[in-house]
Structure 1
Amino acid sequence: MVEVVRASVSLISKQWSNAMSLFHEKFSALPNLISTHGVESSSEDEFLSLLFGTRTSPALHHFLASSLGEAGLKRIAKAVDSAGRDIRGIITEHLQPAVEIISFRLAELRGLSRWRSRFQTIGLDGNLIDGVTESIGMLVVQVERFSRVAATVVYLFQNFFAWVLKSVRILLNEPTDQVPAANSELVVIFLKFLLDKDPIKQLLEADERIECDMDTARHVEQLVVFGGFTDTQFLEKSLVNQFNELEDSLKEAFLMPFTAISSQIQCQGLLPLYPVTSSATLSSSCSPTSISFYKDEDSSHEESSYSLTDYVCLKIPDGSLNKVNCIGVIKGSGNCCTTLSMMSLSGFLLHIPDGYECVDLSLYKDNQVVLLLSETSCSDSPGKSWMVMLQIENFSFMPLSGTFPANIYSLQKLVALDLQLDTDYGKVRSIPHTVSTPFAVSASRGVACVFSSRRHALVYILDEDEEAEGDETSDME
Structure 2
Amino acid sequence: MPSFRQVGEKQLPHEIIFMSWSPKRDLIALVNKAGEVLLHRLANIQRVWILPPNENTGKEVTCLAWRPDGKILAFGLADTKKIVLCDVEKPESLHSFSVETPVSCMQWMEVTEENSVLKSFYSSEDESSVLLPRLPPLPKNYNTTAKIFSEEKSDEIIKLLGDVRLNALVLGGVSGEIEIYAYGMYKIATITEVFGSCLGLCLSSDLKSLSVVTELTTNTNPEITYFQLDTSLLSEYLPEVTRMARKFTHISTLLQYLKLSLTCMCEAWEEILMQMDSRLTKFVQEKNTTTSVQDEFMQLLLWGKASPELQALLMNQLTVKGLKKLGQSVESSYSTIQKLVISHLQSGSEALLYHLSELKGMALWRQKYEPLGLDAKAIEDAVMSVGSFILKANELLQVIDSGMKNFKAFFRWLYVAMLRMSEDHVLPELNKMTQKDIAFVADFLTEHFNEAPELYNHKGKYFNVERVGQYLKDEDDTLMSPPSTEGNQWFNFLQNSTPLKESPLLFPYYPEKSLHFVKRHMEAVIDRCLAKPADVIGRSVQQKLSIPLYCASESEDSCPRLISLPSLWNDKSQNLHYVMFRMRESSDTKLFIFRQPTDVSRSVNKAFVAVEFGSPLNSSASENPGSVHYSCLDARFYEDDVLTLVLRDNNEPEGKDRILSLLPLSSIYSDEETDFEFIRDTVKRLEEQYADIPSRTVSLESQWRVLENIKAHYVSVNGIRKVASVLSSNLRHVRVFEMDVEDDGEADEEEEEEESYSQDVTEEDLDHSTEDAQNNGLEARDVREDSVEY
Equivalent in the alignment of 1:248? 524
Cα distance, 1:27 vs. partner?
2.8
1:190 aligns with 2:606: no
Q: Which has the higher helix share?
A: 1
Secondary structure, in 3 states, of the residue corresponding to 1:107? helix
Q: Residue 176 and residue 121 in structure 1: after superposition, are their counterparts in 2 closer, same or farther (change >3 A)? A: farther
Residues 494 and 501 in structure 2, CA contact (< 8 A), matched pair in contact too: yes
Equivalent in the alignment of 2:513? 237
**TM-superposition CA deviations, 1:363-411 (whole Å, max 9, x none):** xxxxxxxxxxx965759xxxxxxxxxxxxxxxxxxxxxxxxxxxxxxxx
Cα distance, 1:226 vs. partner?
5.0
Cα distance, 1:44 vs. partner?
0.7
Equivalent in the alignment of 1:64? 314
Residues 355 and 377 in structure 1, CA contact (< 8 A), matched pair in contact too: no
Q: Residue 63 and residue 347 in structure 1: after superposition, are their counterparts in 2 closer, same or farther (change >3 A)? A: closer
The answer for unaligned runs of 5 or more in structure 1 is 262-269, 272-318, 325-345, 359-373, 380-477
**In structure 2, what residue type is equivalent to 1:202?**
Q
1:176 maps to which of 426, 429, 432: 426
Secondary structure, in 3 states, of the residue corresponding to 1:10? helix
Secondary structure, in 3 states, of the residue corresponding to 2:303? coil
Residues 163 and 181 in structure 1, CA contact (< 8 A), matched pair in contact too: no
Equivalent in the alignment of 1:150? 400
Q: Give the Cα–Cα distance (whole angstroms) in 2 for the partners of residues 259 and 353 of structure 1.
A: 42
Q: Give the Cα–Cα distance (whole angstroms) in 2 for the partners of residues 78 and 354 of structure 1.
A: 48
Equivalent in the alignment of 1:42? 292
Q: Residue 375 and residue 9 in structure 1: after superposition, are their counterparts in 2 closer, same or farther (change >3 A)? A: same
Secondary structure, in 3 states, of the residue corresponding to 2:287? helix
**In structure 2, what residue type is equivalent to 1:179?**
L
Cα distance, 1:249 vs. partner?
0.7
Equivalent in the alignment of 1:109? 359
Q: Give the Cα–Cα distance (whole angstroms) in 1 for the partners of residues 304 and 417 of structure 2.
A: 14
Q: Give the Cα–Cα distance (whole angstroms) in 1 for the partners of residues 405 and 781 of structure 2.
A: 45
Q: Give the Cα–Cα distance (whole angstroms) in 2 for the partners of residues 320 and 156 of structure 1.
A: 68
Cα distance, 1:71 vs. partner?
1.1
Residues 102 and 136 in structure 1, CA contact (< 8 A), matched pair in contact too: yes
1:135 aligns with 2:385: yes
Cα distance, 1:166 vs. partner?
0.4
Q: Residue 20 and residue 260 in structure 1: after superposition, are their counterparts in 2 closer, same or farther (change >3 A)? A: closer
Q: Give the Cα–Cα distance (whole angstroms) in 2 for the partners of residues 322 and 45 of structure 1.
A: 81
Equivalent in the alignment of 2:275? 22
**TM-superposition CA deviations, 1:82-117 (whole Å, max 9, x none):** 212221232233222111111111111112222458
Q: Give the Cα–Cα distance (whole angstroms) in 1 for the partners of residues 360 and 395 of structure 2.
A: 26
Residues 355 and 376 in structure 1, CA contact (< 8 A), matched pair in contact too: no
1:201 aligns with 2:469: yes
Q: Give the Cα–Cα distance (whole angstroms) in 2 for the partners of residues 248 and 255 of structure 1.
A: 10
1:228 maps to which of 505, 509, 515: 505
Q: Residue 349 and residue 136 in structure 1: after superposition, are their counterparts in 2 closer, same or farther (change >3 A)? A: same
**TM-superposition CA deviations, 1:407-462 (whole Å, max 9, x none):** xxxxxxxxxxxxxxxxxxxxxxxxxxxxxxxxxxxxxxxxxxxxxxxxxxxxxxxx
Q: Give the Cα–Cα distance (whole angstroms) in 2 for the partners of residues 87 and 352 of structure 1.
A: 43
1:73 maps to which of 310, 323, 330: 323
1:97 maps to which of 336, 347, 353: 347
Q: Give the Cα–Cα distance (whole angstroms) in 2 for the partners of residues 107 and 199 of structure 1.
A: 34
Cα distance, 1:124 vs. partner?
1.6
Q: Residue 56 and residue 124 in structure 1: after superposition, are their counterparts in 2 closer, same or farther (change >3 A)? A: same
Q: Give the Cα–Cα distance (whole angstroms) in 1 for the partners of residues 277 and 396 of structure 2.
A: 22
Q: Residue 134 and residue 27 in structure 1: after superposition, are their counterparts in 2 closer, same or farther (change >3 A)? A: same
**In structure 1, what residue type is equivalent to 2:444?**
F
Q: Over the residues paired in the alignment, what is the CA RMSD in angstroms?
A: 3.6
Larger mean CA deviation between 210-219 and 84-93 belongs to 210-219
**In structure 2, what residue type is equivalent to 1:208?**
D
Equivalent in the alignment of 1:411? none
Residues 387 and 508 in structure 2, CA contact (< 8 A), matched pair in contact too: no
1:356 aligns with 2:607: no
Secondary structure, in 3 states, of the residue corresponding to 2:508? coil
**In structure 2, what residue type is equivalent to 1:200?**
V
Residues 113 and 121 in structure 1, CA contact (< 8 A), matched pair in contact too: no
**TM-superposition CA deviations, 1:317-353 (whole Å, max 9, x none):** xx994889xxxxxxxxxxxxxxxxxxxxx76521126
Cα distance, 1:70 vs. partner?
0.4
Residues 373 and 537 in structure 2, CA contact (< 8 A), matched pair in contact too: yes
Where relative contact order (Cα < 8 A, 6+ residues apart) is larger, the structure is 2
Q: Among the aligned pairs, what percent are the same residue? A: 19
Cα distance, 1:11 vs. partner?
1.4
Equivalent in the alignment of 2:16? none
Secondary structure, in 3 states, of the residue corresponding to 2:765? strand
Q: Give the Cα–Cα distance (whole angstroms) in 1 for the partners of residues 426 and 780 of structure 2.
A: 55
Cα distance, 1:6 vs. partner?
0.6
Q: Give the Cα–Cα distance (whole angstroms) in 1 for the partners of residues 272 and 525 of structure 2.
A: 34
Residues 19 and 80 in structure 1, CA contact (< 8 A), matched pair in contact too: yes
**TM-superposition CA deviations, 1:8-37 (whole Å, max 9, x none):** 1111111111111111223334324531xx
Q: Which has the higher strand share?
A: 2
Equivalent in the alignment of 2:64? none
Residues 46 and 56 in structure 1, CA contact (< 8 A), matched pair in contact too: yes
1:159 maps to which of 387, 406, 409: 409
> 1:280-299 maps to which residues of 2 (within 5 A)?
none
Q: Give the Cα–Cα distance (whole angstroms) in 1 for the partners of residues 532 and 513 of structure 2.
A: 26
**In structure 2, what residue type is equivalent to 1:231?**
P
Q: Residue 355 and residue 120 in structure 1: after superposition, are their counterparts in 2 closer, same or farther (change >3 A)? A: closer
Equivalent in the alignment of 2:603? none
Q: Residue 21 and residue 115 in structure 1: after superposition, are their counterparts in 2 closer, same or farther (change >3 A)? A: same
Equivalent in the alignment of 2:785? none
Cα distance, 1:209 vs. partner?
1.4
Cα distance, 1:241 vs. partner?
0.6
Cα distance, 1:128 vs. partner?
1.2
Q: Give the Cα–Cα distance (whole angstroms) in 1 for the partners of residues 468 and 261 of structure 2.
A: 14
Q: Give the Cα–Cα distance (whole angstroms) in 2 for the partners of residues 179 and 202 of structure 1.
A: 32
Q: Give the Cα–Cα distance (whole angstroms) in 1 for the partners of residues 421 and 407 of structure 2.
A: 21
Q: Give the Cα–Cα distance (whole angstroms) in 1 for the partners of residues 719 and 325 of structure 2.
A: 57
Q: Residue 162 and residue 226 in structure 1: after superposition, are their counterparts in 2 closer, same or farther (change >3 A)? A: same
Secondary structure, in 3 states, of the residue corresponding to 1:87? helix
Residues 224 and 230 in structure 1, CA contact (< 8 A), matched pair in contact too: no
**In structure 2, what residue type is equivalent to 1:107?**
S
Q: Residue 250 and residue 51 in structure 1: after superposition, are their counterparts in 2 closer, same or farther (change >3 A)? A: same
Which has the larger Rg?
Answer: 2
Equivalent in the alignment of 1:427? none
Q: Residue 52 and residue 100 in structure 1: after superposition, are their counterparts in 2 closer, same or farther (change >3 A)? A: same
